[in-house]
Amino acid sequence: MSGHPETPWRPPASLQRNGVRWMFAPLVAFLIFTVGPSVLAPILFILSLLVDLGRVHAPSPLAMLLGPLLLTIALWPFLWLYGYVRDELIAQPAEWKSIRLATIVSTVAMSVPSTLLSLAATSEMTSPPGGGGGIGFVLIPFMLFLLIPGFFGWLIGRGIAWLLRD
């Protein structure tokens, strides 16, 4: 252990005034898309008891518990994006406007296909046993595919910020 105490990281004054709430956008999206199907499935089942929604079955407790775990595997790029944004912000605090725009665009770009996956997972949870399409088979390709819109969203966000710089 060295005799030098660690100096805490201090963000620039402009960043302190504007806050860093935007940095948590990938985490919020991740939570919505992983937990959302487990929340929507019981709501759809109860709603189907009141209104005719077709053949909606009660979600099994096992599907409601394993669903978020499987979706966590597929949606890990959101977690990676958060970690990358945090590291970039610490390494280049003066570039916070560019990093903010890139984070927002990348999160939106990854959220579009993630919405479809979450809706498919909700449909899978409320389908009759053996009648679903097996959402587990699409998780690995989806996980790899999700990196592509995230990467292009990051580049587009940084490019727009570069064009709009002061």
Burial tier of 102 (Cβ tally within 10 Å: 0-12, 13-18, 19+) = buried
Better pLDDT: 117 or 86: 86
* pLDDT reported for residue 70: 78
Residue-wise pLDDT for 72-110, tens only, equals: 888 889 999 999 999 998 888 888 889 999 999 999 999
Residue-wise pLDDT for 7-23, tens only, equals: 666 666 666 666 778 88
130 DSSP 8-state letter: T
Mean pLDDT of the chain: 79
* pLDDT reported for residue 166: 62
Q: How confident is the model at residue 111 (pLDDT cuts 50, 70, 90)?
A: very high
Alpha-carbon distance values, 36 to 15, 66, 124, 149 (Å):
32, 13, 13, 21
* pLDDT reported for residue 136: 59
40 DSSP 8-state letter: H
Alpha-carbon distance values, 12 to 15, 17, 81, 91 (Å):
5, 9, 22, 12
* pLDDT reported for residue 104: 93
Residue-wise pLDDT for 136-158, tens only, equals: 566 667 777 888 999 999 999 99
pTM, entire model: 0.77
Q: Is residue 117 within 8 Å of residue 33, measured between CB atoms?
A: yes
Rg of the chain on CA atoms, in Å: 20
Q: Is residue 75 within 8 Å of residue 146, measured between CB atoms?
A: yes
Domains of the chain by residue range: 22-164
